[in-house]
Structures are given as structure tokens and as C-alpha cells.
Chain A
Amino acid sequence: MTPIVLAYIGIGIMIALAGAGSAYGVSYGGNAALGAMKKNSDAFGNYLVLSALPGTQGLYGFAGYFVISGTGVLGPDITAVQGAAVLGAGIAMGIVGLLSGIRQGQVCANGIAAIGSGHDVFGSTLVLAVFPELYAILAFAATFMISGTL
């Protein structure tokens, strides 16, 4: 496996898994919002905001790719170490983005369902929902720092 192949496998994993995590996450929120609309359609703004929250993991995956490609190493002259670094960053960002996006979406969905039932938990859900996101942020920061060493 030449280093450039490894590097692009990493990039592919980063974008694909992080994006998939966000896709799952916002879908959980969207499904819950449709159910909650049946009970309480006035709070749609709240549902929208909470559904959109898990959308950031996909953005981080994409931004991670951008940061790495900005270093200019993704070319035929890439060294073995650089290829391994990009692969590592890609696996890290991708897996963390996937799982944190899914779980964050589940938290948001529960919050939306609670608001639909009439409980006043919007602020609390916002705070609780960003707990899983911290790890995606750390993975993004790690990707950034890895790109700094390339």
C-alpha cells in the first residue's frame, strides 16, 4: 500500500463516517420532531434547533479534510510517515464523529420528545446534548494538530 493510498483511505473514512454520524444524528432528531409536532406544534423552533445540533460532526470531518489538504502533502511525494499520520487522523475523526453523532442525536431526540410532552427542558437538552460533541471536537483538534506536524 503506497502512502498516498493510505492517506486517502484515511480521508475517505474521515469524511464518510463523520458525515454518516451527523446524518443519523439529525434524522433521529427529525423523526422525534415530527412525532412531537402532533402533540405540541408551537415549539417547532425548539425542535429545529435541537435537531440541527448533531450536524456539526459532518462539518468537522469535512473541515478536517480541508485542513489536511491545506498542508499540501496529499500528492505523489507523500512520505510513509505522512501517509500513516493522515490515515490515523482519518480513523480518529471518522469513528468519533460517527458514534458521537449518533448518540448526540439520540439525546436530542429524547429532549424533543420531552418538549413535545410539555416539559420545559429546552435549555437542559441543549447543555446535555453538547456533552458527546466534546469528543468530536477533541478529535478535530487532534486532526488539526496532526496536520501541523505534516
Chain B
Amino acid sequence: MIVPMFKYSFLVFHADYDGFLEQLKDLGVAHIVEHQEEPTPEMQDLYRKISDLSKTIKNLEARKKNADREEAGKITETSGEKLNDRIKEIESNLEQARQHLSSLHKEEKQLEPWGKFSRDNIRKLSEAGIDIRYLICSETKFDSAWAEKYPVELISENDGYSFFVWVADADNRELPDEMSDVDEITLPEDNLEDVRKEISSTLKEIDSLEEELDGVALGGIQLLSNYQSQLEDRVSELNVRFQTVEEVEGRVRLIEAWIPKLRTRELEQQVDQQDVYYIKEPAKNHEKPPIMLKNNRFARLFEPVSKLFSLPAYVEMDMTPFFAPFFMMFFGFCLGDAGYGLLLVLAATIYKPKADKKMRPILSLVQFLGLATVLFGVITGTFFGMNLIENPPAFLADAKNMFLDNDQMFNLALIFGAVQILFGMILKGINQIIQHGIGYSLATWGWFTLIVSSVIFYYLDQQSPDEGLFFGTLHMGFVFLSALGILVFNHPKRNIFVNIGAGLWDTYNMVTGVVGDLLSYIRLFALGLASAILGQVFNQLAFDMAPDVPVVGIIITLIILLVGHGINIFMSGLGSFVHPLRLTFVEFYKNAGFIGGGKEYKPFQKVQ
């Protein structure tokens, strides 16, 4: 059921405004009417910060798993904001240090082949006019005769390269021709030893920064979460202020909010104690009030399923309690194995006490779906892929005839489809009466009467063919009445010829639509069959493929059974969820005339 909404327009004196906002936030029932769509730059900035914080917290949580518990120190910050700033500082320092480290490594690699030598001496030599030139060439090209011919000394050979120096005076810069494949390089300014010392000190710096981050990960995540909640709180308050309109030169502020009927008394009790003037109006559909659903315990479990598609529009009925039993039945039909159903129920029941509050409704849903699966497994005689119709165990031999075989399941799927489509039509008729008036629903009742009466008379005709009931007088009476509803009286305010034309168009749509929709329900049968067959196949594989070796054979059989039935539960379970979902959202909603497009009720409240 959709909770009725009331629109309150509050007029607050500007001095009382802040206190009033606090009160609204404490009550947490007002869904603020938003006139302005674009957030202010300040709000956008806050949104960015909040999303950055989410990323930071996620990174810290990943770090927490790998952090070394003993070594990490404690954090000293008490404010989430300062902690966040410090984290950013550490991260940027780490980045710098790592870059520095990588350039140091490059230098080290360049200096390494030349070994240790004194830069001072080289400088003194060059002041005296003697240059040392550093030359590299590939080992194969290096000619050891060069050492005699030229002022060249081989320093080292490494990695397929020869590193040698040429002692030259400042004037002669040309290398001889036979050294055309030789490259000259300039070495970095520092000593190899100094570079190595700096590498180790940078590594220490990186280590200590990482340790500090580990400490933050171990102890500071809660602080950051609190800070994030503070920011979220602030942005929601900023939004309310942003949506408030200033009247009378800023002395009076106007806030509009939606309050659900259940909470209006609470709000009015609080607000009446203050000097706030308000106007209360019931919601009108064109204003698009937010949607708050209220359902009984069973249907409430199916609300997340309903939200996967769309919340209803304010004027129509909430479809959740209506599709819930069908969805459960269809899931059971498609998965249809008593063993799998039992597993689902057991797993959900065992996990439920340990799960946190948000998961519990979902686990209850799983329990119900499991029960439906057990039911259909019993009906079709399927237990963990074993087909009990063909091979009944001793105690079930008498019950064999009660199991439904494939042809009966095919018909059952179509019957379920027909029931859901007809039920949808009834809902559509009721919706039309509520929204527009009984005159607009006559076409729907016409179709309903036509289909139901035709089906009933067809079956009566099968029972007693001689009486000619199908297309007999009584039947034609119903058909005539239906035709009146469909073709003539389908719209109270239109010309009768327009009505007939529209009725013929409607007839074409209905005939093709309903037949197609009905056939769509065959998928229930097909999915049920496929999952049962897969289970059988895995059973066969497990018992046929196991070798005759005593212990190993049993183990292999068990493994194949586990893996196979696991795959089947996953794939068939997925299909059993998705296909009834589609049947609900497409076939059922279409025949029930569902409009949708409602937005969710999100009141202004403290961030939890």
C-alpha cells in the first residue's frame, strides 16, 4: 500500500529558522520538496570530499588486512578532518619519495659499471686540461687492441657491454673511425657511494611513512567514517537551506515538505509548540509526491524485488502484495527440486541469526522461495536431480501417481499464466475505477468476462459435447455483453463511433498481446524441465564416471555431485529468479496497467 502524503508549507521567521531545522532533523519525517535541481558549488565540493573519503576508507580497509599488527604505531589525531589531511600528506610524500627512489635507482645503474672513483680527482684533472671521456660499446665490437693504440682503459664488462674511458686533452673531440659504434655518455654528478646512501635513506623514509599509514588503517577508520557522516549531515542540511525560499525581504523563510500520513500527528505536536505557521494539503498526483510503501510482513520481503524495476506512481496501487505470491510460486516452479529447496531453507535459517540487520529480510525471502521450491519439488517428484516418478523408493511407491509428469506441468505453467493475466486484468479494472471512475473500466470488465466465460463454456462443452454449450445461447449472451463493454461503452465521454474504432484497435492489441503473454509463461515449464534434467545428468555422471576403486571412487562421486549440483543450483537459481522477475515486470504489470516512475521517500534526518 502507498502511504498517503501531505504537503506542508512552513513559514518560519528567519530568527527561528535554525532551531526549526534542528527540530525537523530530529523528527526525521519531512521529505523536502526540491525546486532547485543543480547543487551549489559548496555542496558539489562536499559531495566530492565525501566520495574521496569513501575511496580513502576503502584503501585503508584493504591495507588493514595486510598490515603488520605489532609494528604499526598509534595515531595521535583526534579529528577526522585532520586525520584525512595527514593521510593526504603521507600519500603525497610517499609519491614523491617513490619517484625520487626510482630516479636514484636509475643513477645507480648508470654509475655502477664505473666502480668507485674519486670525483675530486677527476675534477682536478679536468682543471689541468685533461678530460676523461666515458665510452660504451657492445662487447663484441670492443677491440682489445684499442688499449694500445689509443689512450683508452677498459673499466668493466657487463651485460654484453664494454665500459671504457678515454683520457684526452680538451682539444681533440673526434673519435677515430673504427670507434663509430661507440657511444659517449655523461655521468651524473654524484658518487656511487653517495647515491647508495641516499637510496637507503629514502627506503627508510618510505618504510616509516608506510608504517604510519598502517597505524592509521588499524586505528583510524572509525574516525574517518565519523567525519564522513558529519560531511553527509552537513550537505543534507545545506540542501534543505538551499531549497528554502526567502520571502518578505528575507525575514520569512518558506520550506515545503512531504510528510506521510502516519507521522503527521507527531510533527504537528512538535511544530504547534513553536511560532511556525503552516498550510497542510493532501498530495495531488501531478505534484509527484514521494512514495512510501507499507506492506504486511510477507509482502514487505518482496519490496526489494519491486524496487529493482520501479516504484509505483502515487495514484495507483502498490503491486508488491499482488505479485509476491505469484513470484514465490514461479520461483519454485522453475527451480522445482525438493533437495535444492531444503538446502536453501536450511542455509538461510542457519545464517540468519549471524547476519546483520540489513541481510535478514533477504534471508527471510530466501526461506520462502526455498519453501516454494520444496513444494514444487514434491509435486514433480524431483529430489536432488533424482526423478522419483521413474525410480520411486519403496515408501513412495504408492504416491507415484500423485506426481505430475511433464505434460501436466506444461499445462500447469499455462494455467498459472492465465491466472496471473486475469488477476492483472482485475487489478487494472479496479485501478481504473479508483483513478477515473467506473465508466472507464467497462472495457476491461468486458475482456475479463469474455475470456473467463469462453474458458468456462469450453470446458463445460468438453464434458458434455451434446448440449452445445460452447457458442450456445448463454455463452453468446456473455459474449454480447462483453462486446458492448469493449466496443461501445469503453469511454463515457466520447462519441460512439470513436469508441467503436478505438475498441477494434484495442481488440487487435489484446488478441495479439494476451496470446503472446500467455505463451511467455511456457518458460516456467521449460526452466523447470531444464533444471530437473541437469540434476539428473550430474547424478548420472557422478555414478557412471567414478572408477571402481573402493575409497577413491566414492570420493570422486561425491566431488562430481557437489560440483555438479552446485553449478545447477547457481545457474538454475539465477534463471528461476530472473525469469519470474521478467514475467512480473512485463506480462503482469502490462496487464495490470502499471504506470510506475515514483521516486522514493527520503526524509531529512540525522545521518546514521
What residues make up the interface of A, taking CB atoms closer than 8 Å to B?
49, 52-53, 55-56, 59-60, 62-63, 66-67, 122-124, 126-127, 129-131, 133-134, 137-138, 140-141, 144, 148
Do the beta carbons of A141 and B526 come within 8 Å of each other?
yes
**Interface check B581, CB cutoff 8 A:** yes
B101: min CB distance to chain A, Å: 27
CB-contact partner of B530 in A60, A124, A129, A148, under 8 A: A60
Contact partners of B523 in chain A: CB under 8 A:
133-134, 137
Complex CA distance for A30 and B582, rounded to whole angstroms: 22
A sample of 26 cross-chain residue pairs with beta-carbon separation below 8 angstroms, ordered by A number, consists of: A52-B571, A52-B574, A53-B574, A53-B578, A55-B571, A56-B530, A56-B571, A59-B571, A60-B530, A63-B530, A66-B537, A123-B307, A123-B308, A123-B309, A126-B582, A129-B578, A133-B523, A134-B520, A137-B527, A140-B526, A140-B529, A141-B522, A141-B525, A144-B406, A144-B529, A148-B407
CB-contact partner of B534 in A53, A63, A138, A144, under 8 A: A63
Do the beta carbons of B526 and A137 come within 8 Å of each other?
yes
CB-contact partner of A130 in B407, B410, B526, B579, under 8 A: B579
Contact partners of A126 in chain B: CB under 8 A:
308, 578, 581-582
Closest to B570 in A: A52
Interface size on B, residues (CB 8 A): 29
Do the beta carbons of B526 and A127 come within 8 Å of each other?
no
Closest to B575 in A: A56
Do the beta carbons of A67 and B579 come within 8 Å of each other?
no
Complex CA distance for A62 and B530, rounded to whole angstroms: 9
Closest to B574 in A: A52
The 0/1 profile, CB within 8 Å of A marked 1, for residues 570-592 of chain B is: 11001100110110011000000
6 additional A-B residue pairs with CB within 8 Å, beyond A53-B574, A126-B308, A140-B526: A66-B537, A123-B307, A123-B309, A127-B582, A138-B519, A138-B522
**Interface check B533, CB cutoff 8 A:** yes
Contact partners of B519 in chain A: CB under 8 A:
138
Do the beta carbons of A127 and B585 come within 8 Å of each other?
yes
Which interface residue of A53, A60, A122, A130 has the most chain B CB atoms within 10 A?
A130
CB-contact partner of A59 in B520, B530, B582, under 8 A: B530
Contact partners of B410 in chain A: CB under 8 A:
141
Chain B, range 525-552, C-beta contacts under 8 Å to A: 525-527, 529-530, 533-534, 536-537
Contact partners of A56 in chain B: CB under 8 A:
530, 571, 575
B59: min CB distance to chain A, Å: 12
A30: min CB distance to chain B, Å: 15
Do the beta carbons of B571 and A127 come within 8 Å of each other?
no
Contact partners of A129 in chain B: CB under 8 A:
578
Closest to B519 in A: A138
Closest to A129 in B: B578
Do the beta carbons of A66 and B581 come within 8 Å of each other?
no
CB-contact partner of A124 in B309, B520, B570, B578, under 8 A: B309
B390: min CB distance to chain A, Å: 10
